[in-house]
C-alpha cells in the first residue's frame, strides 16, 4: 500500500514538473529575442576600458580595421582607435579619413571646436573627385597626399629607396637589349596595364603611338601579347624578379598615369627606372623634379605631338650609344638634389618585401598629427594660443579628366568622366552649404541641394551665353 501511494505521489510530481517545463518553453519561445545595440556595446566598453589619458586619434573611415592601441611617437604618444563610441570622449582630438572611402554624408557631426579632421589620400583622383574642390579640401586641418604642398607629402610613396632605384641588377646595355629583342621578337616598347578607361586617356595616347612605333601590350588595354603564365596576376607579381627581367629586355616602357595631377607618380615610373628601361612619362606636370637625372626619361609634355615622340623613340632605338646615356646616372648615382632631399626627409618606409622594419606612411602621418596635437596642448598650458591648421586646395586639387586629340595633345573634354567630375563639384558646394547653415547632412539632402545648385548655375550660364 505504501509502495502504491509513493508511486502515485512520484507520478503526480513528475506530471507537475513536466507541465511547468512545457509552460516555460512556451513563454521563452514567444519572447522577442534580445537585440544587442550600439548603446549596450558602448556601456559595456565604457565600463570595462580604463580611462584614456592621451589624446585620441579616431579613424572615422576604415575604423573596423583599426586596433585600439597606443602609438609611441618619440617623446609623445596618442591613442589610435576606430571605435566611434569614443566620438564624444573629451580626449578625442582628431578624426582621420582615408580619401578613397570618404563619404560626404557620413561625418562626425556636429563638429566641436576642438575636433580636427585629417585626410590621408595617396591614391588617384579617379578614386574620389571630391578632393578636387576647395569646398571639401578646406574641411581638413591636416593632410597627407602625394602633393608636395600637403602637410605630410607622399610623392615617393612607391619608391623604395635611392639605392633600389640606382640598382644595376637588371640593367642591360642597348646592344644586349637588341639581341634579346631579335631573339624573342620583341617590340621596342612595353605596355602593361589593366585599367583601360582613365582620366588621362592613356589608352588613346598609346593607340596613337602604335601607329608609329611597335608596342607589346601585355595587359587588358590594347592587348596584343600574353604574359608568361607565371606572371598572369599583375598584383601578385608586380614586384617579382621575373617581371622585372621581362621589362628589362625592352628599351622603353609606357609610364602614363591614369590621371594628370601634380606630383602623382606611381610604380609605372619607378619600375622601368629600377630595371634600366627608359620610361615614356605622362602624369605629373612637375615630373622632372622627381627624375633621378636630367637624362633618364622621355617626358611626353616635351613634344608637340605623338608623331614627334615616336620619331625620337625610333632614333634612340637605332642609336645604342645615345640610348645608353640615359642610364649614366646608375653609375654616378642620383644627381637630382630635390629627389635626394625628399628621400632623406622621409621618416617612413615603402612596404616592399619582408625587409621593411620601420613604420609605413600611415603610422608616420598618425605620429605627425599626434605631435601637432601635443604641441597645442603644451601651448595652452603655457598660456599661448593654439596653432590653427587648415588645408588648401593645392594639398590635392587635381584638374578635370581629359582626352587627347589626333596629335596626342590633351585638348579635349573627357565626356566619360566629366559627368562624374561635375557631379562631385556640386556635391562639394552642397556639403559646404549644409555645414555652414547647420543643415542636415545626409545623402538625400546633399543630393537635392547639389541638384538645385547645378540647375541654378546652368541657368545663369545659359543667360550669359544668350546675351553674348
User: Is 405 a member of any domain?
Assistant: no
> In the 8-state DSSP scheme, what is residue 64?
G
The model's confidence at residue 10, banded by pLDDT at 50, 70 and 90, is very low
Cβ density class 375-403: b for 16+ within 10 Å, e for less: ebeeeeeeeeeeeeeebebebbbbebbbb
Q: Do residues 104 and 131 both lie within one domain? A: yes
| Other Cβ atoms within 10 Å of 98 Cβ, number | 19
The CA distance from 103 to 291, in Å, is: 35
Domain boundary among 302, 319, 344: 344
Residue among 158, 152, 155, 163 at smallest CA distance from 352 = 158
User: Looking at the structure, do residues 182 and 85 belong to the same domain, yes or no?
Assistant: no
What confidence category does residue 358 fall into, taking pLDDT thresholds of 50, 70 and 90?
confident
Measured CA to CA, the distance from residue 4 to residue 267 in angstroms comes to: 92
- Residue 34 domain flag: no
pLDDT at 32 over 70: no
361, 154 Cβ separation under 8 angstroms? yes
Whether 202 and 265 map to the same domain: the answer is yes
In a domain, 23, yes or no: no
Q: What percent of the chain has pLDDT over 70?
A: 85
**Same-domain check for residues 147 and 180:** no
Residue 113 located in a structural domain: yes
Q: How confident is the model at residue 44 (pLDDT cuts 50, 70, 90)?
A: very low
Q: Are 76 and 370 in contact (CB under 8 A)?
A: yes
Question: Same structural domain for residues 60 and 150?
Answer: yes
Confirm whether 10 is domain-assigned: no
The three-class DSSP label of residue 460 is helix
User: Of 310, 326, 344, which closes a domain?
Assistant: 344
* Closest by CA position to 148, among listed 389, 364, 399, 392: 392
pLDDT for 4: 45
pLDDT 10s digits, 198-253: 999 999 999 999 999 999 999 889 999 999 988 887 667 777 899 999 999 999 99
CB 121 within 8 Å of CB 98: yes
Residue 439 lies in a domain: yes
Note whether 204 and 222 are same-domain residues. yes
DSSP characters for 306-375? HHHHHHHHHHHHT-HHHHHGGGTHHHH----HHHHHHHHH--S----STT--S--HHHHHHHHHHHHHHH
- The answer on pLDDT for 145 being more than 80 is yes
pLDDT at 6 > cutoff 80: no
pLDDT, tens digit (0-9, with 9 covering 90-100), for 272-289: 999 999 999 999 999 999
Q: How much is the pLDDT for 229?
A: 86
Q: If you compute the radius of gyration of the chain from its CA atoms, what whole number of angstroms results? A: 30
Q: Which residues of 160-192 are buried (b: 16+ CB within 10 A; e: fewer)?
A: bebeebbbeebbbebeebbeebeeeebbbbbbb
Q: Is the domain of 202 the same as that of 264?
A: yes
Grid coordinates given for 31: 519572447
**Pair (102, 208) in one structural domain:** no
In a domain, 187, yes or no: yes
**Domain identity same for 129 and 257:** no
pLDDT tens digit sequence for 78-128: 999 999 999 999 999 999 999 999 999 999 999 999 999 999 999 999 999
pLDDT at residue 360, as a whole number:
94
Q: What is the CATH number of the domain that holds 321?
A: 3.40.50.11660
> The domain containing residue 166 runs over which residues?
162-344
With 80 as the cut, is the pLDDT of residue 382 above it? yes
Residues 352 and 451 in one domain: no
Check whether residue 338 and residue 190 sit in a common domain: yes
Whether 96 is in a domain gets the answer: yes
Q: Are strands 76-81 and 92-98 parallel, antiparallel or unpaired?
A: unpaired
Are 227 and 252 found together in one domain?
Answer: yes
Split into its structural domains, the chain has a count of 3
Q: What is the per-residue pLDDT for 43?
A: 43
Give the model's pLDDT for residue 230: 86
Residue 304, classified by CB atoms within 10 Å of its CB into exposed (0-12), middle (13-18) or buried (19+), is exposed
Give the best-scoring range by mean pLDDT among 91-95, 194-198, 413-417: 91-95
Q: Cell numbers of 256, please? A: 602614363
pLDDT at residue 245, rounded to an integer: 97
- Give the list of residues 6+ apart from residue 87 with CB closer than 8 angstroms, or none: 58, 108
Amino acid at each position: 500500500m505504501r509502495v502504491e501511494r509513493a508511486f502515485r505521489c512520484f507520478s503526480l510530481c513528475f506530471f507537475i514538473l513536466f507541465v511547468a517545463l512545457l509552460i516555460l518553453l512556451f513563454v521563452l519561445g514567444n519572447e522577442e529575442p534580445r537585440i544587442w545595440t550600439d548603446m549596450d556595446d558602448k556601456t559595456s566598453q565604457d565600463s570595462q576600458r580604463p580611462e584614456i589619458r592621451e589624446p585620441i586619434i579616431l579613424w572615422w573611415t576604415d575604423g573596423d580595421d583599426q586596433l585600439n592601441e597606443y602609438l609611441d611617437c618619440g617623446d609623445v604618444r596618442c591613442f589610435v582607435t576606430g571605435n566611434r563610441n569614443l566620438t564624444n570622449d573629451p580626449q578625442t582630438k582628431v578624426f582621420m579619413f582615408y580619401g578613397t572611402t570618404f563619404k560626404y554624408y557620413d561625418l562626425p557631426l556636429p563638429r566641436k571646436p576642438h575636433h580636427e579632421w585629417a585626410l590621408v589620400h595617396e591614391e588617384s583622383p579617379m578614386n574620389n573627385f571630391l578632393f578636387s574642390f576647395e569646398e571639401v579640401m578646406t574641411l581638413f586641418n591636416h593632410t597627407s597626399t602625394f602633393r608636395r604642398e600637403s602637410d605630410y607629402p607622399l610623392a615617393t610613396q612607391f619608391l623604395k629607396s635611392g639605392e633600389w632605384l640606382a640598382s644595376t641588377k637588371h640593367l642591360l646595355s642597348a646592344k644586349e637589349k637588341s639581341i634579346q629583342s631579335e631573339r624573342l621578337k620583341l617590340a621596342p616598347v612595353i605596355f602593361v596595364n589593366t585599367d583601360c578607361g582613365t582620366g588621362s586617356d592613356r589608352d588613346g595616347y598609346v593607340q596613337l603611338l602604335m601607329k608609329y612605333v611597335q608596342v607589346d601590350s601585355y595587359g587588358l588595354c590594347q592587348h596584343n601579347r600574353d604574359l608568361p603564365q607565371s606572371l598572369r596576376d599583375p598584383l601578385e607579381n608586380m614586384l617579382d624578379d621575373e617581371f622585372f627581367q621581362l621589362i628589362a629586355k625592352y628599351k622603353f616602357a609606357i609610364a602614363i598615369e591614369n590621371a594628370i595631377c601634380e606630383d602623382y607618380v606611381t610604380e609605372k615610373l619607378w619600375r622601368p627606372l629600377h630595371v634600366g628601361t627608359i620610361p615614356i612619362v605622362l602624369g605629373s606636370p612637375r615630373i622632372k623634379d622627381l627624375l633621378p637625372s636630367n637624362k633618364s626619361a622621355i617626358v611626353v609634355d616635351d613634344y608637340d605631338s605623338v608623331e614627334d615622340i615616336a620619331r625620337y623613340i625610333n632614333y634612340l632605338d637605332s642609336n645604342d650609344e645615345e640610348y645608353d646615356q640615359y642610364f649614366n646616372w646608375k653609375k654616378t648615382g642620383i644627381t637630382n638634389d630635390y629627389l635626394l632631399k625628399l628621400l632623406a626627409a622621409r621618416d617612413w618606409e615603402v612596404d616592399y618585401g619582408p625587409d621593411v622594419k620601420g613604420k609605413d606612411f600611415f603610422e608616420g602621418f598618425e605620429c605627425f598629427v599626434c605631435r601637432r596635437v601635443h604641441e597645442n596642448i603644451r601651448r595652452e598650458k603655457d598660456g599661448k594660443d593654439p596653432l590653427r591648421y587648415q588645408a588648401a586646395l593645392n594639398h590635392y586639387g587635381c584638374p578635370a579628366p581629359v582626352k587627347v586629340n589626333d596629335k596626342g595633345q590633351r585638348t579635349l573634354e573627357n565626356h566619360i568622366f566629366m559627368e562624374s567630375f561635375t557631379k562631385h563639384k556640386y556635391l562639394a558646394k552642397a556639403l559646404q552649404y549644409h555645414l555652414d547653415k547647420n543643415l542636415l547632412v545626409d545623402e538625400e539632402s546633399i543630393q537635392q541641394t547639389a541638384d538645385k545648385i547645378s540647375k541654378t548655375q546652368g541657368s545663369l550660364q545659359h543667360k550669359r551665353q544668350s546675351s553674348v
